[in-house]
Structure 1
Amino acid sequence: LMVHWWAERRSTQVSSLVLSSTTPDKSARSSKMSQVKSFKKLCAVCFGVALLSLTVSACTVNSGNGESDISFSNIEACATRSYQYLPKEQLNTGMTISYEIAPEAVWEDGSHITADDFKATWDATLNTPGSLSTSGYDQVISVEAGRSDKQVVVTLKSVYAPYKILFSSLIKADSVEDTSDISQDFLDLIPFSGRAYKMESWNKERLVFVRNEMYWGDDQAVARKVVIVPVPESEDEISSIESGKIDFVVRQFFQEEKPVLEQDNIASAVASGSNFESIWLNQKCGPFADDIFRSAFIKSIDLDRLLSEVYKPIAPSAELLQCGPITARDYCTGNEFANSYDLIEAIKIMEGNGWKRNEIGYWEKDGVVPEIRWVSNTGNTRRERAQSYLIPLLQEAGFNVSADNCDVECYLQKRLPSMDYDLAMVTSTSHPDPGYLTKLFSCDQIPSPVNGFVGDNRWGWCNDEASDLLYAADEETDPVLRASTVRQVLRLMAADHVLLPVFQFPNTGIWRTDKVGGPIEGELSSPAPFSNFNQWLDVDGDGEIVIGVEQWPKCLNPITQCFDSPWMALTTVLSVSPGAFKTTNDGRYVVTNLLSGEPVISVR
């Protein structure tokens, strides 16, 4: 699901303007970001076909293997740094997946869902400029119809264990002119649907779903209309529930809201969730490109105190998430990231490598005091509370940290995807299969000139051994061996100080019992906690169910950076686009009604 927009790809000339930490004002940053977007398109096209030597010089390729490099200690160098990692040659000869599409499966206009739609999804994902991630689809050699257009035969060049993550949201082939470039499609509407509802309208204020009269499934839409509206501030969510402005909202739980939740006609349920928050460090460039500096910084953060100060109010029984960027316990021992705090050792590391405290107490080397820009989205009280608590402690420990926040659109669509940050707190979604780790952490997934600035590894972590293990895990069909391989990767992450996992959020659903009913809690633990709204009841008979969400998508394209927003995926694509598998409330992948049964897997 989650979550990954990240198509702000940069060039040497323009990024040096935009990524500077001394950009004077927001309007200047916005103007320069526009320059990046324009130049990015030119750079990506020219690099891809290698036409002009001028473009090659603008997209200079530099080698990198994950080691510290003084040349990239400056954030302006981010666009020029590349990684020459190549996955090891596969030990197998590939696999074939045969899907049988349900005979009755049709789109909203009555046309049949066929192999052409699977092929269009593969083509769009693999070739659209600015595609969020090609991981998995880059293993596919062909997608063809079998004995009929209702049978899909997908041929892969290697065994791909996490195949269930493929084709999770289909693109209707007839909805686009060119399936190899859909970057300019779906600007203000997704016009197709293979689910119970179809999208009637979308704008900045509301999204309206109406029944898809051609839907073939047993889980037909119950309510005539479902409306989704943005309610970004936590206080507004609660007041909107109290006033009846919205019927349902899902959010993190705060103890101080308990009296509100105990009122008549307001119900709530808390369930374990698949979202987790971590502290991430940009290793591609900036101060954390230095392994020594990064190690000492990580050892200066007391996560136990942070948990008590920021997360205990959310859930008094909260415990630190110490597995890493994963919540599926089969793939971790549970202590990979334990005992990271050691302030005395941090001081020894810095002093032993030539760092000294200057007159105001900050670490300095060769006359330079690294500036650490901690970016977050304004209005997120939890993250702002974390900044208010941790920044003074980190400054006291000698690190020149400052808040560098912007609104959620800037944060998700610009700063994080362009890696214009040093430190960030990011909420991610863990999936039942660890295959998602490859696209997030392998060296070849770091956006760079070598891969045309495509990839989800926005942290810049490159460890050849870990990348080899990730690809080996994707190839391993023995679940025990695969789990062991993933655990090795998590240990390498901890040793390289890639991140600090903090907390796995519970999901809390809050709703008005006098306005909405049915299986409200049915999917509350899943990555899509209100994905079953087609089964909800319009109790008050006003003709619609209104769902409030804390973030609002700024675009609807299901292939490009738009899809990196979990809220975009939850509110739009997953509600209209059929897929081969879905994640259940208890954390399993199951075949959807798009297929007649389990696909047939054969290894060549």
Structure 2
Amino acid sequence: MVLATDYEISDDGMEYTVMLREDVLFHDGEEFNSEDVKFTYEWFMDEENAAVTAADFVSVDEVEAPDDYTIVVHMAEADASFLRNGLNAMILGSHHHEELGYEGYSADPIGTGPFKLVEWDPDDHTLVEAFEDHWDGRPHLDEIDIRVIPEGSVRVLELETGGADSSIWMVGVDDAVRMHEEADDLGIVSYQTSSVSLNHFPMNNTRDYFQEREVRQAMMHAINRDQVIDSVFAGAATKATANLAPSLEEWYDPDVREYEFNPDGAIEIMEDAGWERNGDGIWEKDGVVMEWECIVLTGDEARRPEAEMVQEFLNQVGFNMQIIEDPQGSTPMREGTGDMALFNWTYGGTNGEPDARVTLSSGGGNNFNHYSSDEMDELLVEGVREPDPAARAEIYSQVQQQFAEDVPCLYMMFWDWFNQWNQRVHGLPSPDEVTAGSNLYRNTQLRQLWIEE
């Protein structure tokens, strides 16, 4: 809530009053005010817009703008997640959005941050420059050029030779660990943090071969996740027990159903569920053959080896997974056209908030698994209705237990995240002050950076 000066929440949690800054300009020079906030919230609330963050506003009844710098949000139902999620939504410039529409605004966005867009080529680079009239003062850097370099080896070379000052997307884990250990010799500052983003294989639960919970449980037993972590990620990850990361100490509960590596157990589960091996050695039942395609992001050198190891584990016990590459791994899963994919996503934990409605509720905007469970839906609603933190923790413990029981996806691990910066960049926090590597690239941090030439 960097654009707010203060806020108040009613005792019953049904009304949020937010006081806005009065000295904020959009990048086109137009003044930011309460109408922009009202427009943004109502746009997210409109079901026809199908916003992926709509779940953050599902409990909102009405938004008022009583004056230019006050917003009053009236809730239809109490929602404990709204403070961390809804009130931190990025605000649209209403005048610009109304003129261009969603598609036009997406290609030509404006904001209120310390850097404004100059050029955007999604396949090549994004160039932003300092916003001279930023409410908190001009940033030190004149511009930031964010280049698209898919090959991890090239990103490493750019970092080591000074061709790039940092890599937003982590390089290959072997190189990341090596550079972390050799940071001083390489002239870089290196950060290692725990992530809350789940490394997983989302799978379309509506597919005939993924509909049965027993099948998904058998697949979990078929994969040696410890070996994947050690072999592919050099041990720099924590095996997932459910959807929430251990670093979320307030909400994490390890006391859930476990899936140790047990290929014989996986075979037994499949046989008990009525599946039989066909002439090709692949599980089959009622004409449904256990074979599918798994999408790996094009050029993803970090996760392609992981997919290949999992493919081998699954294929050894009668599953037939084929790997294909696609530049849009999440989109086919979100739209329901993909069978399975491999990427990292947060299933609760953003901003320290455990709410996972957007990924786990039936019809959630990022329900990549097309998972539907009445029990889970009820728990997710209870979790945001309950204001008491201790009571919420118990609810999210049940969410994790339900997740581990249902196995909506093949949940693998939570990566340790490595971010490296050239030592010529100044204004960075010390490594022990950083709890999430992504925070290093937020506007509040970037505006403080400067380069010694």
Q: TM-score, normalised by structure 2?
A: 0.86
1:528 partner amino acid = N
Q: Which residue is equivalent to 1:177?
A: 98
**Kept after mapping to 2: 8 A contact 1:271/1:508:** yes
Q: Do the aligned residues in 1 keep the contact of 2:191 with 2:437 (CA within 8 Å)? A: no
Map of 2:115 onto structure 1: 197
User: Does the Cα contact within 8 Å between 2:193 and 2:437 map onto a contact in 1?
Assistant: no
Contact 2:427 2:449 in 1 (8 A): yes
For residue 378 of structure 1, report the CA deviation from its aligned partner: 2.6
2:381 corresponds to 1:381: no
The question of whether the paired residues in 2 share the 8 Å contact of 1:375 and 1:411 is answered with: yes
Q: Which residue of 2 aligns with 1:247?
A: 165
The secondary structure found in structure 1 opposite 2:309 is helix
Distance 2:439 2:21 in 1: 24
Mapping for residues 591-602 of structure 1, pairs under 5 Å? none
Q: Deviations over 1:480-501 (max 9, x none)?
A: 0011001101101111122343
In the alignment, the residues of structure 2 paired with residue 247 and residue 527 of structure 1 have an alpha-carbon distance, to the nearest angstrom, of 15
* Cα distance change on mapping 1:254 and 1:342 into 2, 3 Å: closer
Change (3 A) 1:405 1:210: closer
Q: Among 309, 330, 339, which residue is 2:231 paired with?
A: 309
Higher relative contact order by CA 8 Å / sep ≥ 6: 1 or 2?
1
Judge conservation of contact 2:216–2:409 (CA < 8 Å) in 1: no
The verdict on how the C-alpha distance between 1:507 and 1:299 changes in structure 2, with shifts beyond 3 A counting, is closer
| Cα 1:212/1:331, change in 2 over 3 Å | same
Conservation of the 8 A alpha-carbon contact between 1:109 and 1:214: no
One-letter code aligned to 1:246:
A
| Counterpart in the other structure of 1:145 | 65
Q: State the distance in 1 between where 2:355 and 2:69 align.
A: 28
Q: Which residue of 1 aligns with 2:311?
A: 391
Question: CA 1:261 to 1:363, structure 2 compared with 1: closer, same or farther past 3 Å?
Answer: same
Return closer, same or farther for 1:182/1:123 CA change in 2, 3 Å cut-off: farther
Could you say which residue in structure 1 is the equivalent of 2:195?
273
1:297 and 2:206 matched:
no
* Structural mapping, 1:473-552, within 5 Å: 473-514=383-424, 516-519=425-428, 525-531=436-442, 532-540=445-453
SS of the residue 1:331 aligns to: coil
The residue type equivalent to 2:321 in the other structure is V
How does the TM-score come out when normalised to structure 1? Answer: 0.66
Task: Number of aligned residue pairs: give it.
Answer: 428
**2:299 is the alignment partner of 1:365:** no
Cα distance per residue 1:88-109 (max 9 Å; x no partner): xxxx987111000023233335
In the other structure, the counterpart of 1:421 is: 338
Whole-Å Cα distance in 2 between the matches of residues 381 and 442 of structure 1? 31
Identity rate, percent: 20
Look up the equivalent residue of 1:118 and give its one-letter code: V
| Residue in structure 2 matched with residue 95 of structure 1 by the alignment | 14
CA deviations 1:172-220 (Å, max 9, x no partner) are 1111226xx9322224321x331222222222432222222221226x4
- d(CA) in 2 for partners of 1:145, 1:388: 54
Deviation string, structure 1 residues 511-541 (Cα, Å, up to 9, x no partner): 2223x2221556562543321111111212x
Residues of 2 paired with 1:209 and 1:367: CA distance?
Answer: 55
RMSD: 2.6
After superposition, where does 1:46-125 map in structure 2 within 5 Å? 95-125=14-44
Give the whole-Å Cα distance in 1 for the aligned partners of 2:312 and 2:142.
Answer: 52
Q: Is 2:152 the partner of 1:234?
A: yes
Contact in 2 for aligned 1:206/1:230 (Cα 8 Å): yes
CA contact (8 A) 1:520 1:536 kept: no
Q: 1:203 to 1:95 in 2, by over 3 A?
A: same
| Aligned twin of 2:248 | 328
Q: Distance in 2 between matches of 1:229 and 1:254?
A: 20
1:391-418 deviations in Å (ceiling 9; x for gaps): 2221120112211322x2x3233x2222
Check the 8 A contact 1:296/1:347 in 2, yes or no.
yes
- Select the residue among 120, 131, 140 that pairs with 1:222: 140
Contact persistence 1:435–1:474 (CA under 8 A)? no
Q: Distance in 1 between matches of 2:186 and 2:222?
A: 47
Q: Which amino acid aligns with 1:102?
A: R
Q: Which letter maps to 2:193? A: A
What secondary structure does 2:436 align onto?
A: coil
* Worse overlay, 226-235 or 242-251: 242-251
**Offset of residue 256 of structure 1:** 4.5
Which residue of the partner structure matches residue 553 of structure 1?
none
C-alpha separation between the residues in 1 aligned to 2:363 and 2:441?
35
Which consecutive segments of 4 or more residues in structure 1 shift more than 4 A? 259-262, 520-524
- 1:275 Cα shift? 3.0
- Distance (whole Å) between structure 2 residues aligned to residue 227 and residue 256 of structure 1: 23
The separation in 1 between residues aligned to 2:353 and 2:190, in whole angstroms, is: 31
SS of residue paired to 1:304: helix
Q: What is the identity, as a one-letter code, of the residue corresponding to 1:151?
A: T
CA contact (8 A) 2:294 2:324 kept: yes
Cα distance, 1:280–1:472 mapped onto 2, change above 3 Å: same
Q: After superposition, what is the alpha-carbon deviation per residue over 1:552-596, rounded to whole angstroms, capped at 9, x for unaligned?
A: xxxxxxxxxxxxxxxxxxxxxxxxxxxxxxxxxxxxxxxxxxxxx
Give me the whole-angstrom Cα distance separating, in 2, the residues matched to 1:338 and 1:308. Answer: 19
Please give the alpha-carbon distance, in whole angstroms, between the structure 1 residues aligned to 2:153 and 2:183: 13
Change (3 A) 1:111 1:129: closer
Distance 1:187 1:118, change over 3 A: closer
Question: Structure 2: where are the runs of 5+ without partners?
Answer: 1-10
Q: Deviations over 1:339-395 (max 9, x none)?
A: 343333322222223322223322222354221222211321232212222222211
Q: CA deviation at 1:334?
A: 2.2
Q: Aligned AA for 1:177?
A: E
Contact 1:507/1:524 (<8 A) preserved: no
Structure 2 Cα separation of the partners of residues 206 and 214 of structure 1: 24
Which structure has the highest strand share of the two?
2
Residue deviations 1:210-263 (CA, integer Å, cap 9, x gap) = 222221226x40112222111221111111123322112241563456267454
